[in-house]
Chain A
C-alpha cells in the first residue's frame, strides 16, 4: 500500500517569503499526485495534480509542484506567499492499480504573518 510523508507539520513565514513544502511518497509503481488545501473555516479543495508528462505542474493561486521520480517527491512551491495563503496543505497520492483510494499525508500548517 502507498503512504505519504510531509516533512514539516508547521511552517511560519513572513509575507513575500518563498515557500517549499516537502512531500515524499512510498510506492514502487505509477502514482498520481495531488496537493489539497484547507483554508480556515473552508472545506478541502484541490490545489494541483500530476498524472504524467511535464513534471512541473502549476496550480491555482500561483502554486506549483515538481515531481521528482528518483526521489519519490512532489514538493509544493510558491515564490512569494501572501497572508491569504495561511492554510493547511495536504499532499496525497493514488496509484493506478484497481480502485486505489486517495492516501493523504498528515498535513502542513502554514502560517503567513503580514
Chain B
C-alpha cells in the first residue's frame, strides 16, 4: 500500500508569489490534514479536509487555503508569500479523521521563500 505522497519535495519561491502544494493520501483514507513545521514552532495545524469539506481550520491567515477533491487528493495554496512562510509543509491522512486515529504523514514539501 503506497504511503502519503507529497509533491513537489522542494520549492523555492520569491516574496509575493503564490504556491500550490499537493498531497495524495493513502488509498481509502478520506481525511487529509495539513501542518506547517518550523524549527522554532514545531508542527502547527493548518486545516483538515474530510470528504471534500473543510472540517477544521487552524490559526493561519486567509492567505493559506486548501481544497480536497473527490478522490481525496488535497491541495494547499499560499498566496502572496512572505519570508516567514518558509517551512516544511506536512500532509497527513487517516481513514475517518476520528480523534483516536493514527495519522500517516508524508515526507513533506520544503518551501523556501526568498
Interface residues of A (CB under 8 A from B): 32, 36, 42-46, 49, 51, 90, 94-96, 99-107
Contacts and interface: CB of A to CB of B under 8 A. Distances in A.
A51 B97 CA distance: 15
Contacts of A100: 99
Given A101-B45, A101-B56, A46 B100 contact: no
B110 interface: no
A45 B35 CA distance: 14
Given A94-B99, A99-B97, A43 B45 contact: no
A94 B100 contact: yes
Contact of A43 (B43, B97, B107): B107
A103 B107 CA distance: 19
B105 interface: yes
Most chain B CB atoms below 10 A, which of A46, A51, A95, A99: A99
14 contacts: A32-B99, A36-B105, A43-B3, A43-B106, A43-B107, A49-B102, A94-B100, A95-B99, A99-B97, A99-B99, A101-B33, A101-B58, A102-B92, A106-B42
